[in-house]
């Protein structure tokens, strides 16, 4: 589904990603871990097409097509979704209005039926139940005045509505208490199926108890320095990241994604 | 593509000209011009006197050049045509007698006038250059006592009401442009809602400037007697010409005890091209008097067109417990300039006013809010709340706020909040990451910014205003 080859990216002339290789097949769940500042969010944003990040080398193929050639909205309509680490507020625009527009753009793109406000309300109600979000959030402005946890839940609600093929969840666990974490993770798991893939970005192991990854990749200073199965996450929990930082042997742990 | 570029690529859809034979008077302005206009309209002596007095006042006045935050070349008042009317019968027994070309013009503008196609629930007075060409639903409104007709007809048919209220809110010597209007105004709308009547439909006027060399000087008067209610809408467009045209209107509203007038404008005059060539100079005096106790006047404006907008719809809160409101969206792009706001003059006890202003500037445009809140000594417990937000798109535009607050009664309370923001790259990226095009994302953010104002518009107008802001962003990406 996704093939990242030797990806380099920089912001304001500073190279942040220094040659990332990663292959993701449908049905898989990948975790990207690593210390703060290692480039995890940068990788997520480059995949989503954030205009501040310049790709300086390498390529990314998505279903065989050059992902980097597509505008952010095209990528989204083609099924790439990113749950933001810091969701953005859009004053005066209701959650329902925003989501219906996004939903209909995608439907239009796929040549499928668009929904009027009433039909969409029903769909939204069903999806909101998945993340146990109250109906009152639908009429409120996008993320405005939402608590940290509510914003994260709202991200997963959007994922549920847009039904993406590839989801990149950037630190979706941060700011969630344990109950909310369980709900959000449960929502992500329910949405997962063999046709889809998920990349979970986190620097804690905690979330991975609920969303169990098939592969774990450790990012440090813009490179993947270690890869393994879900047990790698536990090892990191115990030992921290320091032992990996300098020239760690990348291919010691078991299965490498292919 | 940057947001500013998106805004820049919009198309003005109303820029075409109707090919129609017009009767125009010679260029220039003198006492004879004033007399000629009055004669063309078969006006009574008192009306001519009103005009002449205004004209003589005007001669002694100076164009307000210094204080507004706008810049434009010298206006040559002798190089303008003050009356231009499509050739047709002066009084029309029915719409069938209206020139089909004019009917087609308004239909193309989305304002069908013929009996079969008229908009449901909205009565329309259609003004083309200097004259009203048709007014719909007149008879239906007459049955409930509401008078809705062109200003010229009102002078002929209802002189006692016109005489009583004309100039009672905006005196002929009020300001330079009001004086000019009072001297040469040609047509406009007249609405009279008698005591106790709730006007059963929205009343509206659609103004179209067609002639490239004539100014439009319209005059509107709305009177709501005791406990009456009316919602009035105003729309306007003009063709694209390289020359600037002057639009200097005067609107007067009078609300007696317990009456309410809601006045909404969607202004989409031609704004000129990207270099600032052409476009309408929109110098307008709009003022309402809450003359009676518990009366209410509410102005809502969505200003998107014109090369220059100079306009301060105001409320004189004379009656005790009266309420004044001003909700405004002003969007300026390219070389457009707007200096707009309101005046709330509190005279009566317990008077309240609310001001919500949203200014959006893009391109090289200049957007100023100017507002006066004045609490007079007898205005016990007066209240004002002002919220004034600006949004900048790109880095070559500017937004200013000039709030003036004069409080002469210490039992009153005045609150003022202001903010300036930009459309952030993060907001755009967030929306686009959900599959929304850049164009739609900008539109969504701007509409969100304007929401408090759009909520005040009648349903159809809110849709129109949203569409209009969208239109400003149309045809951009790709
Ligand atoms: N827009 C930006 N401007 C400047 N530096 C940035 C920007 N985004 C990220 N960086 C820098 O890139 C590095 C990686 O950041 P990020 O991808 O957010 O890391 P992580 O998500 O792993 O914590 C950090 O050193 C950060 O300061
Ligand atoms: Mg991060």
Indicate the range of B74-83, B251-260, B308-317 predicted with least confidence.
B74-83
Cβ–Cβ of A105/B440 closer than 8 Å? yes
Higher-confidence residue: B423 or B258?
Answer: B258
Q: Which range has the top average pLDDT, A189-193, A250-254, B118-122, B364-368?
A: A189-193
**Domain boundaries of chain B, sorted by first residue:** 15-424
Token pair of B211 as six digits: 């002639």
What atom of ligand 1 comes closest to residue A43's alpha carbon?
17
Name every protein residue with a CB atom under 6 angstroms from any ligand 1 atom. Answer: A 11-12, 16, 34, 36-42, 52
Spatial distance between the Cα atoms of A99 and B355, rounded to a whole number of angstroms: 31
Higher-confidence residue: B20 or B176?
Answer: B176
Crossing angle between the packed helical segments B45-59 and B31-40, to the nearest 10 degrees: 150
Q: How confident is the model at residue B435, as a pLDDT?
A: 97
Cβ–Cβ of B445/A90 closer than 8 Å? yes
What atom of ligand 1 comes closest to residue A39's alpha carbon?
17
pLDDT in tens, A200-258: 999 888 899 999 999 999 999 999 999 999 989 888 888 888 877 655 444 444 444 44
The answer, for A130 touching chain B at a CB cutoff of 8 Å, is no
pLDDT in tens, B139-157: 899 999 999 999 999 999 9
pLDDT over 70 at B203, yes or no: yes
SS (H, E, C) B402-424: EEEEEECCCCCEEEEEEEEEECC
CA distances from B226 to B202, B257, B296 (A): 19, 5, 11
Contact list in B for residue A49 (CB cut-off 8 A) is: 432-433
DSSP structure string for B159-210:
HHHHHHHTTSSS-TTSSHHHHHHHHH----EEEEE-TT-B-SSEEEEEEE--
Q: What is the largest CA-CA distance in chain A?
A: 57
Q: Which residue out of A73, A74, A81, A91 would a mutagenesis test of the B interface target, given it has the greatest number of B Cβ atoms within 10 Å? A: A73
Spatial distance between the Cα atoms of B266 and B302, rounded to a whole number of angstroms: 5
Contact call for residues B203 and B123 (beta carbons, < 8 A): yes
pLDDT over 90 at A119, yes or no: yes
pLDDT in tens, B290-334: 999 999 999 999 988 888 899 999 999 999 999 999 999 998 888
Among the bound ligands, name the one nearest to the CA of residue A9.
Answer: 1
| For ligand 1, atom 3: residue with the closest CA | A11
Spatial distance between the Cα atoms of B163 and B412, rounded to a whole number of angstroms: 36
Spatial distance between the Cα atoms of A32 and A229, rounded to a whole number of angstroms: 11
**Bridge partners of residue B338, in order along the sequence:** B309, B367
Spatial distance between the Cα atoms of A168 and A190, rounded to a whole number of angstroms: 16
Indicate the range of A246-255, B53-62, B64-73, B222-231 predicted with least confidence.
A246-255
Contacts within 8 Å (CB) and 24+ apart, B41-50: B41/B152, B41/B155, B41/B186, B42/B156, B43/B155, B44/B155, B44/B159, B46/B159, B46/B163, B47/B155, B50/B166, B50/B167, B50/B172, B50/B182
Mutate to test the pocket of ligand 1, among A38, A39, A245 (most ligand atoms within 8 A of CB): A39
Q: Where are the alpha helices (DSSP H) in B45-149?
A: 45-59, 100-108, 138-143
Q: Where are the alpha helices (DSSP H) in B21-93?
A: 31-40, 45-59
Spatial distance between the Cα atoms of B314 and B230, rounded to a whole number of angstroms: 18
Crossing angle between the packed helical segments A117-130 and A178-191, to the nearest 10 degrees: 120
Cβ–Cβ of A92/B431 closer than 8 Å? no
Spatial distance between the Cα atoms of B465 and B268, rounded to a whole number of angstroms: 10
Q: How confident is the model at residue B11, as a pLDDT?
A: 66
Contact list in B for residue A75 (CB cut-off 8 A) is: 433
What atom of ligand 1 comes closest to residue A42's alpha carbon?
17
pLDDT band at B103 (very low <50, low <70, confident <90, very high): confident
Over range B382-398, report the average pLDDT.
91
Among the bound ligands, name the one nearest to the CA of residue A46.
Answer: 1
**How many Å is the Cα radius of gyration of chain A?**
18
Global pTM reads 0.85
The answer, for B2 touching chain A at a CB cutoff of 8 Å, is no
pLDDT band at B90 (very low <50, low <70, confident <90, very high): low
Cα A246 vs. chain centroid, distance in angstroms? 27
Spatial distance between the Cα atoms of B268 and B237, rounded to a whole number of angstroms: 5
pLDDT in tens, A37-65: 999 999 999 999 999 999 999 999 999 99
- In this complex, which of B426, B429, B448 lies closest to A93 when CB atoms are compared? B448
Number of A to B CB contacts under 8 A, please give it.
81
- In this complex, which of B435, B441, B448 lies closest to A77 when CB atoms are compared? B435
Among the bound ligands, name the one nearest to the CA of residue A84.
Answer: 2
Over range A150-175, report the average pLDDT.
95
Cβ–Cβ of A76/B438 closer than 8 Å? no
Query: Which has the closest alpha carbon to B290: B423, B388, B379, B208?
Result: B379
How close is the Cα of A88 to the center of ligand 2, in Å?
15
Over range B221-246, report the average pLDDT.
88
Contact list in A for residue B449 (CB cut-off 8 A) is: 91-92
């Amino acid at each position: 589904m996704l093939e990242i080859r030797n990806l380099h990216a920089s912001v304001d002339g500073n190279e942040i990603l220094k040659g990332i290789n990663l292959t993701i097949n449908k049905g898989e769940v990948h975790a990207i871990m690593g210390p703060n500042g290692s480039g995890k969010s940068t990788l997520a944003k480059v995949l989503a097409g954030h205009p501040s990040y310049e790709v300086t080398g390498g390529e990314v193929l998505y279903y065989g097509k050059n992902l980097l050639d597509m505008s952010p909205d095209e990528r989204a309509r083609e099924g790439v979704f990113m749950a933001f680490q810091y969701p953005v507020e859009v004053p005066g625009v209701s959650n329902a209005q925003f989501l219906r527009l996004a939903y209909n753009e995608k439907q239009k793109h796929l040549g499928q039926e668009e929904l009027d406000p009433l039909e969409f309300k029903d769909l939204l109600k069903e999806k909101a139940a998945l993340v146990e979000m109250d109906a009152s959030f639908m009429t409120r402005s996008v993320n405005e005045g939402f608590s940290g946890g509510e914003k994260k839940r709202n991200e997963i609600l959007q994922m549920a509505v847009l039904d993406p093929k590839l989801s990149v969840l950037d630190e979706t666990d941060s700011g969630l208490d344990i109950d909310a974490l369980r709900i959000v993770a449960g929502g992500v798991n329910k949405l997962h199926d063999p046709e889809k893939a998920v990349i979970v970005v986190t620097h804690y192991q905690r979330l991975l108890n609920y969303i169990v990854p098939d592969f774990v990749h450790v990012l440090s200073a813009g490179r993947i320095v270690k890869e393994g199965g879900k047990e790698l996450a536990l090892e990191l929990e115990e030992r921290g990241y320091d032992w990996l930082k300098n020239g760690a042997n990348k291919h010691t742990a078991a299965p490498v994604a292919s | 593509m940057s947001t500013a570029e998106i805004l820049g690529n919009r198309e003005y859809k109303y820029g075409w000209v109707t090919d129609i034979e017009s009767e125009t008077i010679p260029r220039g302005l003198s006492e004879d011009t004033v007399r000629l206009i009055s004669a063309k309209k078969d006006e009574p002596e008192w009306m001519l006197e009103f005009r002449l007095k205004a004209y003589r006042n005007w001669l002694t006045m100076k164009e307000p050049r210094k204080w507004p935050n706008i810049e434009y070349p010298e206006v040559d008042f002798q190089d303008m045509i003050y009356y231009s009317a499509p050739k047709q019968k002066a009084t029309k027994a029915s719409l069938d007698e209206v020139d089909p070309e004019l009917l087609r013009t308004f239909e193309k503008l989305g304002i069908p006038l013929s009996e079969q196609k008229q908009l449901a629930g909205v009565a329309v007075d259609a003004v083309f250059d200097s004259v009203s060409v048709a007014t719909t639903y007149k008879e239906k409104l007459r049955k409930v006592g509401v008078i809705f007709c062109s200003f010229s007809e009102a002078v002929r048919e209802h002189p006692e009401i016109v005489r009583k209220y004309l100039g009672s809110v905006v005196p002929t010597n009020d300001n330079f442009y009001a004086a000019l209007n009072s001297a040469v105004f040609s047509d406009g709308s007249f609405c009279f809602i008698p005591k106790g009547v709730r006007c059963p439909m929205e009343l509206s006027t659609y103004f179209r400037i067609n002639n490239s060399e004539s100014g439009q000087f319209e005059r509107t008067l709305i009177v709501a007697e005791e406990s009456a209610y009316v919602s009035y809408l105003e729309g306007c467009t003009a063709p694209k010409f390289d020359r600037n045209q002057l639009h200097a209107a005067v609107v007067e509203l009078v609300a007696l005890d317990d009456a309410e007038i809601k006045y909404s404008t969607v202004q989409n005059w031609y704004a000129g091209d990207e270099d600032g060539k052409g476009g309408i100079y929109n110098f307008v005096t709009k003022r309402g008097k809450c003359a009676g106790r518990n009366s209410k006047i509410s102005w809502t404006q969505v200003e998107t067109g014109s090369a220059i907008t100079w306009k301060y719809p105001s409320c004189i809160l004379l009656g005790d417990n009266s309420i004044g409101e001003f909700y405004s969206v002003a969007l300026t792009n390219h070389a457009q300039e707007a200096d707009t706001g309101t005046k709330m003059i509190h005279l009566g006890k317990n008077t309240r006013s609310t001001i919500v202003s949203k200014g959006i500037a893009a391109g090289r445009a200049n957007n100023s809010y100017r507002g006066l809140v004045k609490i007079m000594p007898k205005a016990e417990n007066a209240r004002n709340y002002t919220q004034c937000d600006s949004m900048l798109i790109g880095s070559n535009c500017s937004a200013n706020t000039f709030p003036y607050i004069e409080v002469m009664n210490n039992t009153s309370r005045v609150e003022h909040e202001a903010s300036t923001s930009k459309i952030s790259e993060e907001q755009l990226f967030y929306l686009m990451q959900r599959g929304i095009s850049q164009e739609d994302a900008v539109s969504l953010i701007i509409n969100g910014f304007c929401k408090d104002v759009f909520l005040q518009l009648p349903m159809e107008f809110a849709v129109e205003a949203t569409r209009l802001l969208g239109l400003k962003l149309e045809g951009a990406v790709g």
